[in-house]
Chains A and B, each alone.
Chain A
Amino acid sequence: MPVLKINGRNVPVDAPEDMPLLWALRDVVGMTGTKFGCGIAMCGACTVLIDGNPARSCVTPLAAIAGKGITTIEGAAKTPEGAALQKAWLAGEVPQCGYCQSGQIMSACALLKANPKPSDSDIDKVMSGNVCRCGTYGRIREGIKVAARNLAGSK
């Protein structure tokens, strides 16, 4: 039985190794913060971090992540970037319907960790992998910039 390290906790998962991580998180472990969008890695709604790097959990089989650390939206606030982003998201009222936002925040976490001072172009290039049907892209970009400023100010 695979054991997944989710948000710092070892979780035995009774699932076949070819099951996508998204299915294991939602249907087996019961963590439903990570969303199903397209199932083909095109929309970004299912984004989590694997060893700090963004991954589309809908196309990531359990066999590919053995022994690696998984961070989901439920654990995002434990990272400096995630905490800053969630604070900025609330302050800026970034979400509209909210369905894509867990994926948006996880991608933004990866962006800020890799690039603490992203330009508008940097943000657009990385966040273009996350689709928002409500069109909150402007607020997402602003939220990332606010979080980046707050992170820089806190250091």
Chain B
Amino acid sequence: MMSTAGGKLRELESKVGLGALAVTLFGGLATVALGSVSLDAIAQVATLRAPSEFSNIGDERVRSQALFTEAGKVLLDPRCLNCHPKDRQPTQGNDMHPHMPPMHAATSGRGERGLACESCHQKTNTATNAKAIASVPGGGNPHWALPPASMSWQGKTLSEICEQLKDRKRNGNHDLEGIHHHVATDPLVAWAWNPGPGRRPALGSQKEFADLIGAWVQTGGHCPVPTKN
């Protein structure tokens, strides 16, 4: 079955994360309380593999695909997917539920005239006095906004997201080096690892993620092969 953006997350939680937890936290003990395992716990033990760990793959195309698949652990994280929604309304939380209050990106990407994203989202994360939502995200400069509709990721496979990232008609007319520069330096991308109290960050760090994308670019920027249904 083809993995989509949401499905990949669940796959990570149920397979990769549990394996890592079982070994790392419990030293191989046979029993793990499934109900107590959360994405937050997984994030504490899972990290990104460095590009050097792929050097044993001789075929450059295959190595490139493997590098992008590793970077996909970030691309498919809710910290990223929530602002790359299927339609023009953002989602929120690890379960990617509809954003409350209901928001519409409008043509600007920054909200409707009269209710911009900046009505709530400041330039930095803002702590609240509530336990359920401990902070409201803030995104530095440029201000909080959704990317263009052509950069929608939710519901897409990693292979589809890869092809979309490379398509200059859909990616803001960036070449591959431009994509690398974007993920390495953009403050809204950086937010994924500084999401504020009450939110777990994306795996690894922005530098580790950018290193993977950089290595992917250097190996030709090949996309993972689509899986069949």
Main secondary structure of the interface of B (DSSP, over half): loop
Residues of B with C-beta under 8 A to A58: 128
Residues of B with C-beta under 8 A to A55: 118-120
Number of A-B residue pairs at CB separation under 8 A: 79
Question: Is there a chain A Cβ closer than 8 Å to B132's Cβ?
Answer: yes
> Nearest chain B CB to A25's CB is how many angstroms away?
16
Given contacts A41-B120, A41-B136, A42-B100, contact A59 B115 (CB under 8 A): no
Q: Which of A38, A54, A61, A112 contacts B126 (CB 8 A)?
A: A61
Cβ proximity bits B132-149 to A, threshold 8 Å, 1 near / 0 not:
110010000000000000
Given contacts A39-B128, A39-B129, contact A56 B102 (CB under 8 A): no
Residues of B with C-beta under 8 A to A110: 114-115
Contact B119 A42 (CB under 8 A): no
Contact A44 B114 (CB under 8 A): no
Q: Across the interface, name the chain A residue whose C-beta is closest to B116.
A: A53
**17 residue pairs from A and B, CB less than 8 Å apart:** A42-B101, A42-B133, A54-B114, A55-B120, A58-B128, A59-B122, A59-B126, A60-B122, A60-B126, A64-B126, A111-B115, A113-B114, A114-B113, A114-B114, A115-B114, A128-B102, A129-B119
Cβ proximity bits A110-128 to B, threshold 8 Å, 1 near / 0 not:
1111110010001001101
Contact A126 B115 (CB under 8 A): yes
Residues of B within 8 A of A (CB): 100-104, 112-116, 118-120, 122-123, 126-130, 132-133, 136
Q: How far is the CA of A131 from the CA of B102 in the complex (A)?
A: 11
Given contacts A61-B122, A64-B122, A64-B123, contact A129 B101 (CB under 8 A): yes
Q: Which of A39, A42, A125, A131 contacts B112 (CB 8 A)?
A: A125
Apart from A53-B118, A55-B119, what 9 extra A-B contacts exist at CB < 8 Å?
A: A39-B129, A53-B116, A53-B119, A54-B114, A60-B126, A107-B114, A110-B114, A110-B115, A115-B113
> Nearest chain A CB to B180's CB is how many angstroms away?
32
Residues of A with C-beta under 8 A to B103: 129
Q: Which of A54, A118, A129 contacts B102 (CB 8 A)?
A: A129
Contact B115 A107 (CB under 8 A): yes
> Nearest chain B CB to A17's CB is how many angstroms away?
12
Q: Which of B104, B114, B130 contacts A40 (CB 8 A)?
A: B130
Residues of B with C-beta under 8 A to A128: 101-102
Residues of B with C-beta under 8 A to A126: 112-115
Q: How far is the CA of A142 from the CA of B26 in the complex (A)?
A: 61
Residues of A with C-beta under 8 A to B123: 64
Select the residue from A18, A60, A107, A125 with max chain B CB neighbours within 10 A: A125
Residues of B with C-beta under 8 A to A39: 128-130
Q: How far is the CA of A56 from the CA of B111 in the complex (A)?
A: 15
Tell me the residues in window 80-134 of chain A with beta carbons closer than 8 Å to chain B beta carbons. 107, 110-115, 118, 122, 125-126, 128-131
Q: Across the interface, name the chain A residue whose C-beta is closest to B104.
A: A125
Residues of B with C-beta under 8 A to A44: 101
Q: Across the interface, name the chain A residue whose C-beta is closest to B128.
A: A40
Q: How far is the CA of A5 from the CA of B133 in the complex (A)?
A: 30
Q: How far is the CA of A129 from the CA of B100 in the complex (A)?
A: 8
Given contacts A39-B129, A64-B123, contact A129 B136 (CB under 8 A): no
Cβ proximity bits A53-84 to B, threshold 8 Å, 1 near / 0 not:
11110111100100000000000000000000
Q: Across the interface, name the chain B residue whose C-beta is closest to A131.
A: B101
> Nearest chain B CB to A85's CB is how many angstroms away?
13
Residues of A with C-beta under 8 A to B112: 122, 125-126
Q: Across the interface, name the chain A residue whose C-beta is closest to B115.
A: A126
Residues of A with C-beta under 8 A to B120: 41, 55-56, 59
